[in-house]
Structure formats: structure tokens, C-alpha cells
Amino acid sequence: MKLKIKKDEILKGLQRIQGVVDKKNTMPILSNMLLVADGKGVEIIATDLEIGLRGRYTAEVEKPGAVAVSAKKMFEIVRELPEEDIQIRVDEGNWVKIVSGHSQFKLVGLPKEEYPSMPDVAEEGMIAMDGDTLRDMIKKTLYAAGENDARYVLNGLFVHLSPSKGGLNIRMVGTDGHRLSMIDRIVDAKHKEESVIIPKKAMMELRRLLEEDSSQGGFQIGLSKNHALFKRDGLVMVSKLIDGNYPNYQQVLPTQNTKKVSVSKDIFTHAVKRVSILSKEKTNAVKLQLEKDTLLLSTNNPEVGEANEELSIDYKGESISIGFNSRYLMDVLMAMDKETITLELNDSLSPCLVKEEGNDDYKCVVMPMRV
């Protein structure tokens, strides 16, 4: 293999795969990436056996070939190279030689056959989604998904496709058993009704790709029995699906909450931030008290002190006092985009529904804590 490539071009590819490459070192080969040079340029491929990412980049290929090489070392080297033009050559014994200006590196490589192949997913019934919508949906739900939860289905986003009037309704749901976030968006596409659970890590990587450059447009999404496929020009991501039954999330969405209050997102966010400075470290508990035309926020930590803040609101309903993990509240607030949000409460042990004002397509549920 012998090729010339621009630093920016290969760096983009190396950056993209850093999140995919396995850091737990369960199999040494997985700390590598696969570099493939052919007539059309180069491909950089990485997988942790759950997720695979394949990107194509422009290069002048003199002699095709392929090699597996440390993804981290490649990235660190290329990042520091002095010149725009980089030459890469693979010599006998899979030595990878990188030359730029007066710098030379020789890296140990492995034959391409040792690198696990990415699963082939048939590209049928692909759904086109624009980048902003997809990114937004992920951002608004992923925070609520579980992390290393024993209930493994929670460590992913539930994606439900259903035909609807304006096209195809796409629903994403994330929950960790303490809070839940659900968003619906309609896209112009046709697809049969289907539900899948996509691992959190895949969604995080997808979100990163979407945040890279919004001008690159959206993704084509394909689902097979065991995999999800995300594709755009020169970039393919494949993820295994989580096999299992997602809990009945609809059952926990409150519908009868009568105590409703609207509040400015900014003012509320800052108030929560301030009072939570004195919340108990382990619990992060913040108490909200809803009374006639006021919302009181307070924290009390016997070892440190207490904080109180009063917000004027329009509220005529019954008084209620309810505690929350302030971190959960902040996560919800960060995910909201509208200037005004609404809180819908029932009692101090029942779920609280948070919405953007006038928007019923995005619902967040936060469970209270006892304070």
C-alpha cells in the first residue's frame, strides 16, 4: 500500500472513529482501525463489535492495500504532523510508515484479515431524515437513557416507527427508571410499523457525526432484524440492536396531572442551579413548593446551610410541595428549546410532566424524591 493524503482529510476520519474504538481492551485487535486503500481513495473502518463505522476519504493511491493499525497512535501522530501532505506506506511485515516533512514514523501493523469485518446490512426501505431533526431528537431523549443498567434494554433509545397522516411518525424514548423523555416527529417517508432499541453508545456517536457539520445533511436509516444502519455520502455506521422488550413507557406518562404551571426556562434554570449549590451531595435534592402565584425553590443541607429562592408565577391551584434530584431537573431544562416550559404535577410522590409550552410532541417525565 502506498498513498498520499491531506492532513485535514485523514484527521477527520481518525477523529470520527476514536469514540468507536474499544477502550476496554477486551480484544487487543479492537484497539486498531482498518485502513483500506483502493482506486477511489481510502476507507477508515473501526468497530467494537457492537458498532461499526466506515468512512471514505480522498487520497492519491499509488498502490492499493489494507492494514490494521493502532487507532489511537495513528490519531496522535497525524494530529501532530507538521505538513499538510502526508505519505503512508505499508512495507513487508505490515510496517506502517508515515512521512510528513522531515518527520517519519514506523508503526506496527497487523494483516487486514485479523480485523473483524463489519456486518452487512441490506439497504432496503431506507428512511431519509434531515440532520437537524435527527440530532434534535437524539439530544432531547438520550440524556434520560440508562447507563450500565442491569435492565439492559434501558441502556438504549427506543425507536418506534409508525405510519401517520403526514408520512412516518418517528418516536424516540429514553428512560433510566427515574426519568423518561419521549419525542415524536413526522418525516416524509414510508415504512411499516416497527420498534427497535438502539444502544446508547451508537446514538452518542451518531450525534457526534451530526454535530460535526450540519451542512452535510441527514442520514438514510435502515433497520434489519439485528442491526440499524445509518448512511450518508461516504459514511456508514452500523449498530447492533438491543434485543428485548422495552418497558411500558406509555403507562408512566401522566395524563391526569392537574397542577400546571408555566415558567421561564432561563429563570427557572438559574434558580435551580443556584439553590442546588447547597443541596445534599449524594441526593442533589431540591424542594419545589407551589403556592398561589409563587414557586419556591429550596435546599437544606444540615452540614452546610440552606438556600431559598422565590419565583413569581401565575398559579391559582392547590399548594403542593415536591422534591427532585436537581441534576434530573437540569438535564430536562438543558434539553428544552422553547423559552417557556410547563410543569404538570399531581402529588409529591407522582410523576411530574415537563413540556415546552404549546408543544405536545415532546414530553419529559421526572420522578420526585422524598425530601
Partner 1 sequence: MPVETSYSALRTPHSALSMRSILHIDMNAFFASVEQRADPKLRDRPMAVGGSSQRGIILSPSYEARAFGVKTGMQYHEARKKCPDIVLVPASPGKYSSACKELITIWERFTPLVELFSIDEAFLDVTGCKSLMGDPVQIAVRLKNEIWEIMGLTCSVGIARNKLLAKLGSDMLKPDGIVLISPGDEEEVLEDLPVKELCGIGPSLTQQLSAMGITTCGKLGRTPLAKLTARFGILGERLREMGQGIDDDPVVSRAEQDEEEAKSVGHSMTLDKDCGDIDMIQRHLLQLCEKVGRRLRRGGYIGHTVSLTLRYADFHTFSRQQRLPRPVDHELDIFATASSILTRISLDQPIRLVGVSVSGLEKQMSQVPLFTDERKRKFTAEAMDDINDRYGDFTVTWGTLAERYHHERVISPAWRPGGDREY
Residues at the site binding partner 1, with contacts judged by CB under 8 A: 148-150, 175, 177-180, 247-248, 251-252, 282-285, 323, 325, 349, 351, 365, 367-371
Residue whose cell numbers read 413548593: 289
Closer residue to partner 1, CB minimum distance, 180 or 206: 180
Give the span between the Cα atoms of 154 and 187, in whole angstroms.
Answer: 25
Residue 18 or 284 having the CB closest to partner 1? 284
The nearest distance, CB 300 to partner 1, in angstroms, is 14
- We find the least distance from the C-beta atom of residue 339 to partner 1, in angstroms, to be 27
- Is the sign of the CA dihedral 123, 126, 131, 137 positive or negative? negative
- Residue 295: strand, helix, or coil: strand
Q: Which residues pair with 161 in a beta bridge?
A: 170, 194
Cβ nearer to partner 1, comparing 13 with 368: 368
Beta bridge partners, 32, equal 70
| In the complex, least distance from residue 295 CB atom to partner 1, rounded to whole angstroms | 20
Q: How far is the CB of 272 from partner 1 (least distance, A)?
A: 17
| Four-residue CA torsion sign, 119, 120, 125, 131 | positive
- Compare residues 29 and 349 and give the one whose CB is closer to partner 1: 349
Is residue 253 within 8 Å of residue 363, measured between CB atoms? yes
Least distance from C-beta 258 to partner 1, angstroms?
Answer: 19
Q: How far is CA 355 from the centre of its chain?
A: 21
Name the minimum Å distance from CB 184 to partner 1. 19
Here the cell at position 369 is: 424524591
CB of 282 to partner 1, least distance (A): 6
Q: How far is the CB of 49 from partner 1 (least distance, A)?
A: 21
Residue closer to partner 1 (CB basis): 70 or 175: 175
Please name which of 211, 37, 220, 250 lies closest in space to residue 126, comparing C-alpha atoms: 220
Instruction: Indicate the helix (H) or strand (E) that contains 158.
Output: strand 156-164
Nearest Cα to 284, choosing from 322, 324, 321?
324
DSSP 78-147: HHH-SSSEEEEEEEGGGEEEEEETTEEEEEEEE-GGGSPPPPP----S-EEE-HHHHHHHHHHHHTTS-S
Nearer to partner 1, 5 or 353 (CB): 353
Nearer to partner 1, 27 or 252 (CB): 252
